[in-house]
């Protein structure tokens, strides 16, 4: 009996030691495995974000390359003679517009403003790797906006088109290709691009869009076709086009979160109906960064509401029809 006690203690120690060894071995296997799994998931997320950004940027570079050659006079298929686009102008998709000389429908004189001011936030060029973030912010503030989208058949965009619609925003058209040299080459090429986008959006979302924003606006000055022919065609199709009277300037070089905020918030008080131009693009992160503060500032303005474009919206248009 006297000899059993140290034996028991000894075997208990052995058991403890064995348990410790097992735990150590298990930990030595599990910890690196967990780290590997976490890293693999993170890598996968970063990789898909990187791929999406890459696709976005390639799309954009493709378009900008096109516009750069037009602005530099390198593309002979587009007539720029009716508007001088100097090299000093920023190489951007939307041209600087002098609002003093153009027709903008609606009660735009601040003196005339009575009652509610309507602010329409609009996003061009999407969907993109920024769309989800923009939609999250709009959702957070319970705000509905309008997305003038292009035709991007890559399946990674499919859910974004659908989410825009499912979240209750207005889906508008902004050309399928966004290539000025194609869209504005002739009335027929415009029609072809328009139909391609409309059918694509209907097949993707089930929505038959009723609103259009011309790439570069109706006052773009690079169209080979008289813009009145294109607006007449949209009329026939019962589609209303919208330009803008407030611009984020997020497509200008040197744009920052602060300039985007100031361009919008300082100009909204000038109009009763504010159609605000912004961009939904991978390289326009300032817009996303500024968006929450812009919405807060607009919501804090007296008698001002943020609403999506609907068939009842008074269009803001740069050219007289
Ligand atoms: Zn655009």
Closest among 254, 275, 253 to 264, alpha carbons compared: 275
Q: Is pLDDT above 60 for 109?
A: no
Ligand 1: distance of its center to the CA of 150 in Å? 8
Model pLDDT for residues 197-256, shown as the tens digit of each residue: 999 999 999 999 999 999 999 999 899 999 999 999 999 999 999 999 999 999 888 999
Report residues near ion ligand 1: CB below 5 Å.
93, 124-125, 215
Which structure tokens are listed for 281? 């693009």
Q: How far is 239 from 172, CA to CA, in rounded Å?
A: 10
Ligand 1: distance of its center to the CA of 34 in Å? 45
Ligand 1: distance of its center to the CA of 159 in Å? 21
Ligand 1: distance of its center to the CA of 158 in Å? 19
**Secondary structure class of 110 (helix, strand, coil):** helix
Q: Is residue 71 exposed (0-12), middle (13-18) or buried (19+ Cβ within 10 Å)?
A: buried
Ligand 1: distance of its center to the CA of 219 in Å? 13
Ligand 1: distance of its center to the CA of 124 in Å? 5
CB 56 within 8 A of CB 281: yes
Q: Which CATH superfamily is domain 92-306 in?
A: Glycoside hydrolase/deacetylase (3.20.20.370)
Q: Is pLDDT above 90 for 1?
A: no
Ligand 1: distance of its center to the CA of 180 in Å? 10
Q: How far is 4 from 2, CA to CA, in rounded Å?
A: 6
pLDDT at position 65:
62
- Rounded to an integer, the average pLDDT of 126-130 is 95
User: In sequence order, what are the residues at sequence separation of 6 or more whose Cβ sits closer than 8 angstroms to the Cβ of residue 147?
Assistant: 122, 123, 126, 127, 131, 164, 169, 170, 171, 172, 280
Ligand 1: distance of its center to the CA of 94 in Å? 7
Mean pLDDT computed over every residue of the chain: 84
Q: Is pLDDT above 50 for 129?
A: yes
Domain ranges in the chain are 92-306
Q: How far is 94 from 214, CA to CA, in rounded Å?
A: 10
- Rounded to an integer, the average pLDDT of 85-89 is 31
Ligand 1: distance of its center to the CA of 174 in Å? 7
Q: What are phi and psi of 283, to 5 degrees?
A: -95, 15
Q: Which of 95-99, 138-142, 169-173, 294-298 has the lowest mean pLDDT?
A: 95-99
pLDDT band (50, 70, 90) for residue 8: confident
CB 291 within 8 A of CB 279: no
pLDDT at position 147:
98
Containing 120, the helix (H) or strand (E) segment is strand 117-124
pLDDT at position 113:
56
Ligand 1: distance of its center to the CA of 33 in Å? 47
Burial code of 201-225, b = ≥16 C-beta within 10 A, e = fewer? beebbeeebbbbbbbbbbbbbbbbb
């Amino acid at each position: 009996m006297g000899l059993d006690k140290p034996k028991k203690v000894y075997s208990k120690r052995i058991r403890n030691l064995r348990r410790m060894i097992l735990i150590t071995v298990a930990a030595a296997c599990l910890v690196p495995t967990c780290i590997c799994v976490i890293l693999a998931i993170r890598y996968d997320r970063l990789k898909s974000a990187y791929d999406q950004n890459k696709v976005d940027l390639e799309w954009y570079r493709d378009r900008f390359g096109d516009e750069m050659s037009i602005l530099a006079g390198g593309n002979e298929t587009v007539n720029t003679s009716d508007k001088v686009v100097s090299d000093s102008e920023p190489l951007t998709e939307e041209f600087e517009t002098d609002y003093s000389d153009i027709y903008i429908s609606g009660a735009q004189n601040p003196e005339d403003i009575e009652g509610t001011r309507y602010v329409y936030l609009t996003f061009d060029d999407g969907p993109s790797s920024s769309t989800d973030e923009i939609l999250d912010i709009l959702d957070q503030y319970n705000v509905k906006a309008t997305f003038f989208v292009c035709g991007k058949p890559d399946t990674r965009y499919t859910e974004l088109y659908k989410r825009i619609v499912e979240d209750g925003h207005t889906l508008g058209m902004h050309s399928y290709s966004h290539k000025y040299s194609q869209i504005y080459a002739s009335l027929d090429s415009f029609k072809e691009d328009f139909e391609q986008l409309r059918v694509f959006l209907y097949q993707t979302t089930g929505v038959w869009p009723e609103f259009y924003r011309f790439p570069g606006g109706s006052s773009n000055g690079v169209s080979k076709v008289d813009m009145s022919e294109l607006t007449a065609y949209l009329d026939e199709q019962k589609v209303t086009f919208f330009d803008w009277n407030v611009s984020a300037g997020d497509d200008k070089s040197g744009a920052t979160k602060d300039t985007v905020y100031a361009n919008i918030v300082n100009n909204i008080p000038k109009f009763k109906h504010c159609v605000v131009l912004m961009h939904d693009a991978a390289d326009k992160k300032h817009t996303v960064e500024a968006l929450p503060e812009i919405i807060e500032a607009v919501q804090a303005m007296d008698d001002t509401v943020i609403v999506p474009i609907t068939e009842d919206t008074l269009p803001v248009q740069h050219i007289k029809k």
